[in-house]
């Protein structure tokens, strides 16, 4: 437990009111005595009963800032040895535990710092954790979000694994990894978090653990409530054979959890790190005072590489005690402020792993189902992206140290913490857009060039931070076959789930006649065309050209045509696979918005177009085909005919090639229901015209 001063009898009555004294597995103690020593009311006020009488505070933060907390409240409340819960050891069961040595190596009275327990080169123990969030009956106090709990687990992993770039980096890598349980005791999927609303439980009373505990031999049970006025506590050290009892637990003040903690300066998640140290068998660094200066593995904190100290340390300044200087104030098992703590010692890590191997043998696993560090935590394990949504998580990801650039940040520096990695081979030229918008945490992303993992200052193609709320979205032009690396993390110490959206807007070459200056010359009666990926010319048509869709012409293509006769010219786009619109301009000079077309049409044959106008033999025209609907593109056929004035001696020769044959039949069928192949001049192309054509079949004109 973490406390500024050693606990007196009165302190024990305050801070340990909800803790059990020595008892068997079958005799659990229920809640605090009446009246309780510490109580948070529904209005948020705090009531403390101590030897000086009753004291009230406006809220929990005011209590934690008071001298009363420093003097009698307690940084934490580890019971004296003769009051700790204990019990017979559970039978060992096969699991992920390595085994070795004996339980006497880390008993409650001694430590044998045997190298057999050294984590280096050995397995990493994963610890399944369940958080029981207890709120008051109204649900108005004590609520903690899933994101905040995930951050607290991240802090544990930084501290117990001395992760590079994290506050825990100066410490010893214990290779103990914490994961939120993914399967509950019944075998059902879970996020490892439960919520309960009960004011008595919220005030650390009522034996809530008897109702809420998950198998304590297989899960580390963490409860958040008022912790009886302390910042946190455990009923006993791990060496006490407490595992398997419902009371085996860690209790943390609800306002001292994760990055949502408000209990400054105890607001960085180190209270839980401290209590987990007890849970794994560690004593306070100041246990035993100066008496631990000799025979240090059998006195005091039972660890020799923490120097003896008479009293706890409440600040981050260098200390001197028992005749020598020490820096125990940076040790997680002292009482200093959260920002100061950054290490377990080598012998502490040996003792903790020994405790796991002999006193909590069923707790650790080497592959907790569905949990652990993401497979793409390292760039070398980058996951290949697919078009569309890519679900991911940065929960329990480590910090690679590969940073962004100053220009990529709004205000949070250049770090990309808790990062995960992706790879992508670009299938075509275009604009690539990546987004983490809507992530459950403050996200940031970098896009790196190349098929190898980048380093800080490498070829950064694009980056984003706070471009959609506190999340990221960015676009970059890429080319076919290009390999990129995508880094997703956070500018701050946050992690969570996200969806990485990927969209590639490929750039396809537009049609050859996309621009008027490149108009395709029409030489026959039928010309195939496409408007797919065509651009617009930037000007519309007179309103008289439209039926209802406005003057715009989108995705247009251009044709040039010279009239082969003096007469009535007919041009049609009927039967196109998109909603087509056309206009005809006189001359060979590309028109602008102030040039009116000779003729224009929309929705003449279904949603397609057909125009007829007077032309002179040898006269040049420009024909424009597009759509009144933005984004409506497709393929079609352009039909062109010129009917001489004075009649046509051979009207069945629709293509004017001198012979009446299948080509003419095709034109007639294409113009069916219009006047485009009206042989008998009745205003409609129908069966009568088909009969005339067939009767003249094979004739030369």
In angstroms, rounded to a whole number, what is the distance separating the alpha carbons of residues 687 and 15? 101
Using DSSP's 3-state secondary structure scheme, residue 662 falls into helix
The answer to whether 659 and 653 have CB atoms below 8 angstroms apart is: yes
Orientation angle between helical segments 662-670 and 687-695, nearest 10 degrees: 170
The answer to whether 570 and 676 have CB atoms below 8 angstroms apart is: yes
Which residue(s) pair with 417 in the sheet?
490
**Cα 158–chain centre separation:** 20
In angstroms, rounded to a whole number, what is the distance separating the alpha carbons of residues 107 and 354? 9
83 flagged as catalytic: no
Q: What is the DSSP annotation of 506-541?
A: E--PPPTTSSGGGPEEP-SSEEEEE-TT----S---
Give the residue among 464, 393, 396 at the shortest CA–CA distance from 422: 393
H/E stretch holding 222 reads: strand 220-225
Look at the alpha carbons of 476, 480, 483, 486 in this order and tell me if their dihedral is positive or negative.
Answer: positive
**Cα 543–chain centre separation:** 50
The answer to whether 422 and 489 have CB atoms below 8 angstroms apart is: no
Give the residue among 22, 156, 3 at the shortest CA–CA distance from 78: 3
What is the phi/psi pair of residue 555, to 5°? 50, 55
Using DSSP's 3-state secondary structure scheme, residue 700 falls into strand
What is the CB neighbour count within 10 angstroms for residue 51? 11
Look at the alpha carbons of 454, 456, 459, 465 in this order and tell me if their dihedral is positive or negative.
Answer: positive
What is the CB neighbour count within 10 angstroms for residue 455? 12
In angstroms, rounded to a whole number, what is the distance separating the alpha carbons of residues 23 and 16? 15
Residue with tokens 């880094």: 487
Exposure pattern of 88-116 as b/e (b: 16+ CB <10 Å)?
A: eebeeeeebbbeebeeebbbbeebbbeeb
Using DSSP's 3-state secondary structure scheme, residue 209 falls into helix
What is the CB neighbour count within 10 angstroms for residue 661? 16
One of 275, 347, 494, 652 is an active-site residue; which one?
Answer: 275
Two tokens at 338?
């959260």
In angstroms, rounded to a whole number, what is the distance separating the alpha carbons of residues 432 and 429? 9
The answer to whether 181 and 214 have CB atoms below 8 angstroms apart is: yes
**Dmax (CA) of the chain:** 127
The answer to whether 242 and 85 have CB atoms below 8 angstroms apart is: yes
Q: What is the DSSP annotation of 574-608?
A: TT-SS--EEEEEESSSPP-TTSPPSEEEESSBTTB
Two tokens at 201?
């439980």
Which residue(s) pair with 449 in the sheet?
484
What's 37's DSSP letter?
S
Q: Are strands 599-602 and 581-586 parallel, antiparallel or unpaired?
A: antiparallel
H/E stretch holding 130 reads: strand 125-135
What is the phi/psi pair of residue 147, to 5°? -60, -40
Using DSSP's 3-state secondary structure scheme, residue 50 falls into strand
What is the phi/psi pair of residue 289, to 5°? 60, -145
**Cα 45–chain centre separation:** 37
Q: Write out the catalytic residue numbers.
A: 275
């Amino acid at each position: 437990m973490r406390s500024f001063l050693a606990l007196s009898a009165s302190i024990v009555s305050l801070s340990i009111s909800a803790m059990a004294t020595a008892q068997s597995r079958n005799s659990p103690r229920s809640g605090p005595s009446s009246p309780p020593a510490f109580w948070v009311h529904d209005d948020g006020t705090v009531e403390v009963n101590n030897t000086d009488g009753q004291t009230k505070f406006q809220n929990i933060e005011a209590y934690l800032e008071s001298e009363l907390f420093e003097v009698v409240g307690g940084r934490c409340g580890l019971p004296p040895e003769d009051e700790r819960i204990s019990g017979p050891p559970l039978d060992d069961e096969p699991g992920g535990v390595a085994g070795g040595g004996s339980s006497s190596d880390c008993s409650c009275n001694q430590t044998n710092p045997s190298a057999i327990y050294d984590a280096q080169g050995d397995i990493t123990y994963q610890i399944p954790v369940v958080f029981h969030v207890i709120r008051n009956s109204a649900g108005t106090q004590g609520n903690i979000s899933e994101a905040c709990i995930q951050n607290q687990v991240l802090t544990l992993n930084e501290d117990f694994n001395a992760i590079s770039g994290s506050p825990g980096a100066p410490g010893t890598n214990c290779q103990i990894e914490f994961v939120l349980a993914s399967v509950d005791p019944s075998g059902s999927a879970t996020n490892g978090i439960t919520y309960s609303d009960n004011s008595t439980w919220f005030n650390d009373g009522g034996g809530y653990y008897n109702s809420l505990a998950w198998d304590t031999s297989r899960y580390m049970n963490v409860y958040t409530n008022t912790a009886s006025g302390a910042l946190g506590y455990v009923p006993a050290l791990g060496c006490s054979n407490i595992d398997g009892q419902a009371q085996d637990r860690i209790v943390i003040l609800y306002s001292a959890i994760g990055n949502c903690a408000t209990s400054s300066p105890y607001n960085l998640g180190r209270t839980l790190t401290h209590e987990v140290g007890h849970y794994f068998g560690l004593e306070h660094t100041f246990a035993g005072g100066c008496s631990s200066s000799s025979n240090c593995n059998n006195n005091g904190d039972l660890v020799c590489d923490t120097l003896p100290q008479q009293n706890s340390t409440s600040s981050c300044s260098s200390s001197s005690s028992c005749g020598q200087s020490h820096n125990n104030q940076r040790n997680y098992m002292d009482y200093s402020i959260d920002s100061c703590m950054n290490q377990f010692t080598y012998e502490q890590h040996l003792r903790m792993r020994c405790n796991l191997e002999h006193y909590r043998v069923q707790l650790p696993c080497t592959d907790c189902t569905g949990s652990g560090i993401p497979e793409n935590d390292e760039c070398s394990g980058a996951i290949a992206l697919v078009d569309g949504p890519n679900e991911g998580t940065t929960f329990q990801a480590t910090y690679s140290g590969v940073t962004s650039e100053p220009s990529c940040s709004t205000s949070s520096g250049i770090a990309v913490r808790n990062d995960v990695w992706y790879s992508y081979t670009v299938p075509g030229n275009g604009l690539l857009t990546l987004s983490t918008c809507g992530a459950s945490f403050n996200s940031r992303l970098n896009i790196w060039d190349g098929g190898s993992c980048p380093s800080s200052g490498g070829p950064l193609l694009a980056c984003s931070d706070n471009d959609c709320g506190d999340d990221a979205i960015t676009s970059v032009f890429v080319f076919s076959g290009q390999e990129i690396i995508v880094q997703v993390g956070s500018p701050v110490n946050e992690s969570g789930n996200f969806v990485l959206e990927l969209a590639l807007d490929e750039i396809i070459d537009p049609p050859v006649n996309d621009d008027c200056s490149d108009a395709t010359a029409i030489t026959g009666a039928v010309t195939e065309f496409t408007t797919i990926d065509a651009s617009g010319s930037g000007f519309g048509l007179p309103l008289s050209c439209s039926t209802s869709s406005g003057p715009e012409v989108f995705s247009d293509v251009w044709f040039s045509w010279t009239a082969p006769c003096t007469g009535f010219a007919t041009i049609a786009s009927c039967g196109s696979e998109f909603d087509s619109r056309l206009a005809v301009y006189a001359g060979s000079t590309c028109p602008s918005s102030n040039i009116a077309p000779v003729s224009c049409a929309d929705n003449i044959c279904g949603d397609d177009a057909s125009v007829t106008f007077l032309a002179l033999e040898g006269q040049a025209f420009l024909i424009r085909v597009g759509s009144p609907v933005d984004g409506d593109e497709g393929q079609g056929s352009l039909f062109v005919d010129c009917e001489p004035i004075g009649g046509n001696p051979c009207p069945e020769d629709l293509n004017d090639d001198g012979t009446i044959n299948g080509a003419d039949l095709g034109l007639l069928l294409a113009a069916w229901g219009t006047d485009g192949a009206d042989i008998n001049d009745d205003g409609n192309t129908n069966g009568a015209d088909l009969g005339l054509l067939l009767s003249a079949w094979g004739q030369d004109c």
